[in-house]
Structures are given as structure tokens and as C-alpha cells.
Structure 1
Amino acid sequence: MMQIYVEPLPKGRWGPIDGYTLEYPDGTKITEQVFSSEKLAVSEIRLRGYTPLLAKVRITDKGEPEHWESVE
């Protein structure tokens, strides 16, 4: 199954998280929708048949596997 990243917004900044976006590994957004919680974002990914990856750090890099955690 393809893995999809749940990215916290705004990207690349410290501070409060305004929402979450869903992205392919190349950074392309799956949808323009911004989800208010990780739980809602994970539910959407699962409905589409993908495996969600949640950020373990605030400032993420898709090239760093230790920044991400798979949710089963």
C-alpha cells in the first residue's frame, strides 16, 4: 500500500498547528482540504486505501524516515 504523509500546517514553522494536509511522497497534495485533527486526516487516508504516516517532529522532512511514524 502507498504511504501518504499527514503534514502539519503551517509547514516549516514552529508554533501552533492550524491543521493537517495530505501529501504524496513528492509533496503533491491529495486534496486541498485542511483537516482539523490528525484523526480526521488518518480516517480520510484509510478511506482512500493508503497507509498514513504521522509526523513525529514539528518541522518535517520526507527524506528523513525518523521524522515519520506509520499508523496501522
Structure 2
Amino acid sequence: MAQVYIEPRPKGRRDGEAIEVFVVEDHKDHVRATFRTQHEAIVWATKERHLNDKAMPGHWRAV
């Protein structure tokens, strides 16, 4: 289970500019998936088992 990050795009946008999409990236900046909303990105990452709650052992133990 790799660590992933949800990032708004375009990168380098100025304050006040619209966010076009949200991408799910791995630690090497490879785009894993693209979504219109941040919520969709979170749902996808959760379904793919990219969870970050270390307080819940079921999230980080091998299945």
C-alpha cells in the first residue's frame, strides 16, 4: 500500500485561480488518477486502500 497525495491542479496556479482537477499522486509524483472533485479523489484512494489513519491497525496491516 503506497503512500499517496491528493493535489489540486494546475500546479503553480495563482491565488484565486480555479482548480481544474484533483490528482492522486504517489511519492514520486506519478499521477495515479484524476478527478473533478477532491471528494471523488478521497473516495478512490480509500477504495484502493490508500488509507492514512495509523491509529486504526486495520488500515496499515497487510491484508
TM beyond 0.5: yes
Gaps of 5+ in 1: 53-72
RMSD in angstroms over aligned alpha carbons? 1.6
Specify the alignment match of 1:51 in structure 2. 51
Matched, 1:25 2:27: yes
Unpaired stretches in structure 2, ≥5 consecutive residues: 53-63
Residue of structure 2 equivalent to 1:10: 10
Number of residue pairs matched by the alignment: 50
- The structure where helix makes up a greater share of residues is 2
Moved over 4 A (4+): none
Shift of 1:44: 0.2
Flag the structure with larger Rg: 2
Any conservation in 2 of the 1:2–1:51 contact (CA below 8 Å)? no
What displacement does 1:30 show? Answer: 1.1
2:41 alignment partner in structure 1: 41
